[in-house]
Amino acid sequence: MTQLTVIDSDREDSRWLRNNLTAEGYEVAAADTIAAAFRILDQAPPDLVIVRNPALVKAVSDRLSDAPLLLLAPRPDDEDDLVRAFALGVDDWVWTPVGIRALAARIHAVLRRSCSGERAGPSWVRIGELEVHPPTRSVRCAGRGIKLTPTEYDVLVELIRHTGRCLSREVLFRTVWRSGPDQSPMRKVDELIATLRRKLGQGHIQTGLGEWGGYRFVGDIG
């Protein structure tokens, strides 16, 4: 599996990146300090490094051997900042905010161009007996192929990206169907979750507590 290292002092952002990139099929290690990052880089050299702070680019680049470096940061104020970043060792600058699918595509492109290109690309994401393959949108459970509709797959991946966190029906509907909820769409979410449970088994998706309910995915991504 392609290995990424994320260097981000904001632990909440780092957790979001790790969960989402893991769901896209990458193995992700996160560091919130430069010292922690150096330990990771020295012990288990990754295929690509993502840095969230432009000020750390030179230090990280000097520590790397072959792995490409991707800067994930707001758009630079002027062209000189962009030129300087590339001169210091950045292989690509992805401007934030950015969607996870676009970020994954840029990562894949950088890996394809790099010397690690033969290993580029996401693999199967494993969560217990459940496996998801983002490139083909395939799902297996206990080694058995599970046929999901495109919408069922999108809801499953959204839940996996927020593993352990309860997502409301409204959030799931707006994320997947891209419009606001009403009484019918809320039932639509419930029906879709019921179908997923029949296909995957009852243990993967739990119902949240309280009046508004919601759903959470349980398991350890690895």
- Domain locations in the chain as residue ranges: 3-119, 125-217
Sign of CA dihedral 149, 150, 155, 156: positive
**Main-chain dihedrals φ then ψ at residue 73, nearest 5 degrees:** -160, 165
Q: Amino acid identity, residue 181?
A: P
69-74 vs 48-51, strand pairing mode: parallel
pLDDT of residue 194: 94
The SS3 call for residue 215 is: strand
CA distance 172 to 17: 19
CA distance from start to end of the chain? 10
pLDDT of residue 87: 83
Q: Give me the CATH code for the 3-119 domain, please.
A: 3.40.50.2300
92-96 vs 144-146, strand pairing mode: unpaired
Q: CB under 8 Å, gap of 24 or more: what pairs does 113-120 form? A: 113/68, 114/47, 114/48, 114/66, 114/67, 114/68, 115/66, 116/2, 116/47, 116/48, 116/66, 116/67, 116/68, 119/2, 119/47, 120/2, 120/47
pLDDT of residue 72: 96
CA distance 71 to 51: 5
Mean pLDDT, the chain, whole residue set: 84
For residues 93 and 82, the answer to whether their CB atoms sit within 8 Å is yes
Closest CA to 46 of 109, 97, 116: 116
The SS3 call for residue 151 is: helix
CA distance 149 to 45: 38
CA distances (Å), origin 212, targets 65, 181, 196, 207: 51, 13, 20, 10
Residue partners of 23: CB distance under 8 A and separation at least 6: 100, 125, 132, 134, 157, 160, 161, 221
Query: Which residues in the chain show pLDDT less than 50?
Result: 116-119
Stated length of the chain: 222
Question: How much is the CA Rg of the chain, to the nearest whole Å?
Answer: 19
Q: Give me the CATH code for the 125-217 domain, please.
A: 1.10.10.10
Q: What is the pTM of this model?
A: 0.61
pLDDT of residue 192: 92
